[in-house]
Structure 1
Amino acid sequence: MATDWVTESSDSLLHFADLILSSVPVRHHRAALLDKVQDQMRQYARLEAEAEQAALALSEVKDEAVSSISEGSEVNIEELAERVKCLTDRYMQDKLAAMGDLNAHDKCLRLARMVDAATPAAAGADEELVVTGMQTATRDPWSKQEIRRPYRNRRCDHVYDHESLERLLGEKACSIKCPYMGCTNKRPLTWDDMMEDPVAKRAC
């Protein structure tokens, strides 16, 4: 059914949004991607609503046609098709009026909650992120060993191994900065700036 395809696609879109929220560290890049995802989700919401209302209209017209045939009356297929279209449009208007707008659709609301839940940490940052471009390293800059559990710095996009971070950031007296040559991020590293990076993990 068409609604099954729409449901599967919108579920995939939710998964994609989750991947963006967990893997895209630069705020303006992430916001632009999420805007596109939300626009697409509204389109899926409209498709799903239209399919549901068309099914209702078709069922109603089919019952009328069966009744007419049973009574021996002639049935005009073109008129029936036009009636289905008109009923679908009317039911769709009623549906949108009841919802308020497409943002009130269940999947749109779920997506909005996901985005809202991930926003406070970024919105509370006291200064702009330092952008150097996405870089995927395979060796930890401190241990020089293969990265097994990659963590990405939200401020400069550089990747480190969790074990090294745990060791270095555990030394409270130290003020560790990003060790990558040429990095413009001069802030000391903190756990608040780190996020586990599943994309980098697949690349390592």
Structure 2
Amino acid sequence: MKMKKELTKEQRESLFSVLKARFEKNMERHKGIKWADVQQRLEASPEKLWSLDAMEETDGEPDVVGHDAKTGEYIFFDCAAESPKGRRSICYDHHALESRKENKPGHSAIAMAAEMGVDILTEEQYRQLQQLGKFDLKTSSWVATPAAIRKLGGAVFCDRRYDTVFLYHNGAESYYATRGFRGVISV
């Protein structure tokens, strides 16, 4: 049985209130975009609203970071200052999780993102996010890993140190209390 991914009226109203307040507080992230237009798209997409709520519930602080003129969709990234607290201490993907013999983490970034109905940021998207502020000064975030790297057992992550965005590698099965992932969803 598939779980219905829809919020109650009260949950929707509460989420709209949080998203609108964040939107208005951070206008530099979405110049020229009007909240009323964003809310109209959200109201027409209950499953995506559910995903935004999942981002919020795991401390991602999702916010509008762009608008796709071709599709009309608004793009949301996790904009929490540090990698979302509710998504840390996880390895990269399910295969990495299964390959660990001892001390397995509770989850993986790719599987958790899929459950939430979001994608993890690509390196390019991560660098776009860093143009909007300074993120991951104390944490790091898994980013979508190229298939060739993943095939060899690795995965990549990014952070910001010394006012520079770095891309690093690690074994995909590794996990740290300060590493999570940032999500993206288009509505």
TM range (shorter): under 0.3
* TM-score normalised to structure 1 length: 0.23
Max Rg structure? 1
Higher strand share: 2
* TM-score normalised to structure 2 length: 0.24
